[in-house]
Homo-oligomer: A and B are copies of this chain.
Amino acid sequence: MSDYVTVTFEPAGVKARVPVGTNLYEAAQQAGVALAGSCGGQGICGECQVFVTEGIVSEPNSQEKKLLSAALIEEGGRLACQTKLRGDAVVRVPITEATVVRKTLQAEWIRLVPLAPNVRRYDLALAAPSLEDQRSDFRRLADAVAPQTSDLTATTQCLRGLASALRAEDQKVSVTVVADEVVDVRPASQRSPCLGVAVDIGTSTLAAYLVDLETGKQLATAGGQNPQARFGADVISRIQYANSHGEGLIALRDEVLTAINQLIRQTVEEAGAAPADIYEATIVGNTCMHHIFLGLEPRYLAESPYVPVTTEAVSTSAEQLGLQINPQGNVFCLPCIAGFVGADTVGVIVASELTRREHPTLAVDIGTNGEIALWSGQRLLTASCAAGPAFEGAQIHYGMRAAPGAIDEVFVRDGDLAVHTIDDQPARGICGSGLFDAMAVLLELGLVDNKGRIVDGQNYGTLSDTLAARLAGEGNERCVVLADADQSANGPIALTQRDVRELQLAKSAIRASTEMLLEIAGLQSDDLAKVLIAGAFGNFIKPVSALRIGLLPEVPESKIEGVGNAAGAGAILALVSQYERDYARQVAQSAEHVELFRSSDFQDRFAEYMVFP
């Protein structure tokens, strides 16, 4: 094992285990981190620049010295494609627009599991039939694939070509088995890759992860917007669309299916393969996205008592569903838990092995809908709450996605607040992680009181002049300027009173839900060993900010861990291992869902947690 080294890519925290001598560009690919780069690893374009912060790597070579300044090299700056690993290392990837966007689509949080996919490939040379061995073609094949079982079957389609396929190259064949069914037998020379794709259907974004099912390696990733957005930004408006238009559900389904098929084509093109090489797709998404994808009526998700059509894991034919992978391929949708706790939450629980942990652990998925899963050490409790899209920057006056110019960090400097923007560009707005920081810093500096009121411009009492100067507007139009006109691209960027109220409602809903689950489980926040923050920007939220605004139970900062797009990671795990799939089923079955809004306790707590700490 001394020939292998481990490299960790920050800030995602994703690791790869690769042979000594592997360059960082290849290692990043293996870890699922897409670095920029247009010269094909020749050290010419200079786009794959990274920082080696720890560990032993090759010395900078002449290409690097030509493209990187001495000062940058002094800081650890390197071209990933030119830097070879000599030992374990930690590498920081600069956040550029490309990497941020793609990173939110990466499943960064893959744990290592033994490869045991539902799809298996066998390369066989069968004994030719003879008068002494008159077993049928299929029986000879089945005996070679699974000598011990008689459960193997074959699709009719596959049986139709079987006799010819076996005899084309003297009984040498490449065989693909999905579950217990032979779906493809072809002459050995026509062997093709054996791939799977994990798909994460978010309300806003879609992601597809292409995996080689013979090696478990991630080959390509593609992401994009969920085009259903044109029918409504959130699940409720999409459900209303489906209810109120005759073919509404079909239209919604077609939109997302077309987009997913496009992403799948992108990934296979990138990997030099074909859609027909994909024999299985695993799907995660919230219950509404899950229902629409399968064509199930979402109507009753939104009407009391909020009952899904099904919460079971669904296995169905790709062809029947219209998913453009191999027509004989299988589609596996991870199970859901309740109307608003879907397969995405199951994915998070699977990826984080929540219910296999010894100590109580909380997982919070922050999005328009907040999903909370609490593992007490014995019971798995889940709840959902309508947090609204504030945390994602929507309905925030200057909200924007994590792109160059977005304020992604806010901090205190010299008694004033200061901001960092992505790529150090002039400020153009504020993204999710910036919002958390801003809220925390405004509380810390006394610019917002614990009831969520921006301090009145006329009556700011103890504030320094510097801080007071950041206040603007009157009454409900009050705001705090985060970046003034000089720092910004198009005029000042501010957080408004309305923005603060949105954030306050959102954090209060999540916190009240969390506290309710803790109480039901008979736990105190002290009992929690970890608090996991899932969701696209989970990795970018500063724990200290989340704590400061009271989003999370009062735990030491060190217990908070961002797990990124753990839902997608769960889909990948279900793709590469049947045991993980079984685990997902078991998670969904054992979960005790709590319908919080019914409880007057919840309403009390919601009001209580409107107050900032």
Contacts and interface: CB of A to CB of B under 8 A. Distances in A.
Copies of the protein in its oligomer: 2
A288 interface: no
A134 B306 contact: yes
Contact of A339 (B134, B154, B167): B134
A122 interface: no
B595 A305 contact: no
Nearest to A141: B310
B306 A136 contact: no
A547 interface: no
Interface string A326-369: 00000000001011000000000000000000000000000000
Nearest to A311: B136
A299 B129 contact: no
A320 to B, nearest CB: 6
B294 A156 contact: yes
Interface string A78-113: 000000000000000000000000000000000000
A175 to B, nearest CB: 15
A138 interface: yes
Nearest to A142: B312
A494 interface: no
Interface stretch (A157-165, A190-198, A575-583): A157-165
B159 A307 contact: no
Contacts of A595: 131, 134
Contacts of A159: 294, 296, 309-310, 314
Interface string A514-542: 00000000000000000000000000000
Contact of A338 (B134, B304, B336, B338): B134
Interface string A286-327: 000000001111011000111111111011100011000000
B135 A307 contact: yes
Contact of A300 (B163, B304, B310, B311): B163
A153 interface: yes
A160 B295 contact: yes
Determine which residue in A130, A167, A310 has the highest number of CB atoms from chain B within 10 A of its CB, and name it.
A310
Contacts of A130: 305
A304 B593 contact: no
A451 interface: no
Interface string A118-139: 0000000000011101111111
A299 B166 CA distance: 13
B164 A311 contact: no
Contacts of A309: 136-138, 159, 162-163
A598 interface: yes
A295 B156 CA distance: 8
Contact of A129 (B296, B305, B312): B305
A296 B131 contact: no
A131 B295 contact: no
A442 to B, nearest CB: 39
B163 A296 contact: yes
A593 B134 contact: yes
A598 B305 CA distance: 72
B163 A314 contact: no
A305 B134 contact: yes
A223 to B, nearest CB: 26
Contacts of A295: 156, 160
A249 to B, nearest CB: 9
Given A134-B339, A595-B131, A154 B310 contact: yes
A294 B135 CA distance: 19
Determine which residue in A129, A162, A295, A307 has the highest number of CB atoms from chain B within 10 A of its CB, and name it.
A307
Contacts of A316: 155-156
10 contacts: A129-B305, A134-B593, A134-B595, A137-B300, A150-B589, A156-B320, A157-B320, A159-B296, A160-B294, A163-B296
Given A153-B314, A162-B310, 4 more contacts: A134-B306, A162-B296, A162-B309, A167-B300
Return the 9 tightest CB-CB contacts between A and B, nearest first. Answer: A138-B310, A129-B307, A163-B297, A136-B308, A136-B311, A131-B305, A156-B316, A136-B310, A160-B295
